[in-house]
């Protein structure tokens, strides 16, 4: 049997990064897989005359890795840990490294759109594995929430979320935020049977999702919610407050191929209400 791919956690010297480290270590221990602790030295702007400073950055990065490794071992004794120093653009380097990982875990600066958030977004857009973004000060919640919209990406997100909920003994909530008819009515169009028909068609997406889950996970408690007032990102942020995990697909329905991170996922990741997983779309089934 091939060795399990590690869970990789990208670290820096922030509180959110420390939270991500501990979350990743706990998950790796629960799944009995290795943990790879990764730090990236951003050398993109280093000119030849400042190369000595690059060595200082490398030493600092190695120090962060050593300290993080010690914290992870203290939190999860017996965990198999490797330390990896990378160089290059942070988002791109982590995205490339994700090919060797089963999951990439990152901290975010939360409500402030700072560099950490931007790097988390970049990595989530390019990673080859699921990406989990952890905010600072997030307490342990209850329940798994997954956002759906009928796309292939959200179907994969549902599969991931259901497996997580089943393994953790959590209830699963499937949320579909659809605001089309309300936008039309707000714009002055009269309510019509067509608008009602659209909502009914979208309700079928939820019903089919629920039916599939009940077949695959007969003991899983599943709740379905259709939100027709709030925008999708706002609905997810509100519903996921206090959740153990929020799961989203990498791209929503109707997204351009080049926009590998959908607008809803992008909005949620700038202020994740709980640990948030962005699943990936693969031609082959995830192992």
Angle, to 10 degrees, between the axis of helix 152-168 and the axis of helix 193-216? 40
**Lowest mean pLDDT segment, chosen from 41-50, 85-94, 259-268, 274-283:** 41-50
pLDDT of res. 138: 78
Helix/strand/coil for 249: coil
Contacts of 186 (CB under 8 A, 6+ apart): none
Share of the chain above pLDDT 90, in %: 43
Give the residue-averaged pLDDT of 235-251.
Answer: 90
Q: Which residue has the higher pLDDT, 216 or 110?
A: 216
Q: In whole angstroms, what is the distance from residue 227 CA to residue 225 CA? A: 6
DSSP state, 111? T
Report the DSSP pairing between strands 131-134 and 276-278.
antiparallel
Q: Give the ranges where 98-231 is alpha helix by DSSP (H).
A: 115-126, 152-168, 180-186, 193-216
Q: Which tens digit of pLDDT belongs to each residue from 51-60?
A: 667 788 889 9
Give the residue-averaged pLDDT of 1-29.
Answer: 89
**Lowest mean pLDDT segment, chosen from 11-25, 32-46, 255-269, 271-285:** 255-269
Task: For 132-142, give one letter per residue: b (16+ CB within 10 A) or e.
Answer: bbbbbebeebe
3-state helix, strand, coil in the chain (%, to 5): 45, 15, 35
Q: In whole angstroms, what is the distance from residue 194 CA to residue 192 CA? A: 5
Rounded to two decimals, the pTM is 0.84
* Residue 67 scores a pLDDT above 60: yes
């Amino acid at each position: 049997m091939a060795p399990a791919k590690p869970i990789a956690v990208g670290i820096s010297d922030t509180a959110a990064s420390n939270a991500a480290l501990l979350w990743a270590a706990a998950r790796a221990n629960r799944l009995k897989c290795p943990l790879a602790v990764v730090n990236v030295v951003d050398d993109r702007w280093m000119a030849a005359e400042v190369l000595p400073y690059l060595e200082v950055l490398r030493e600092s990065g190695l120090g962060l890795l050593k300290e993080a490794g010690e914290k992870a071992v203290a939190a999860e004794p017996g965990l198999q840990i490797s330390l990896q120093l990378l160089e290059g653009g942070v988002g791109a380097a982590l995205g490339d490294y994700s090919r060797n990982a089963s999951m990439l875990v990152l901290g975010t600066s939360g409500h402030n759109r700072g560099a950490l958030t931007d790097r988390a977004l970049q990595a989530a857009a390019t990673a080859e594995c699921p990406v989990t973004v952890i905010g600072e000060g997030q307490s342990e919640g209850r329940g798994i929430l997954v956002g759906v919209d009928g796309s292939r990406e959200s179907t994969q997100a549902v599969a991931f979320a259901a497996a997580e909920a089943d393994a953790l003994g959590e209830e699963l909530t499937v949320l579909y935020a659809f605001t089309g008819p309300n936008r039309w009515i707000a714009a002055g169009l009269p309510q019509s049977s067509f608008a009602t028909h659209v909502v009914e068609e979208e309700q079928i997406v939820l019903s089919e999702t629920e039916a599939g889950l009940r077949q695959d996970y007969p003991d899983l408690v599943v709740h379905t919610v259709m939100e027709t007032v709030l925008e999708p990102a706002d609905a997810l942020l509100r519903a996921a407050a206090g959740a153990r995990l929020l799961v989203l697909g990498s791209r929503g329905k109707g997204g351009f191929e080049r926009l590998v991170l959908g607008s809803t996922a992008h909005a949620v990741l700038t202020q994740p209400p709980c640990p948030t997983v962005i699943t990936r779309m693969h031609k082959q089934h995830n192992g």
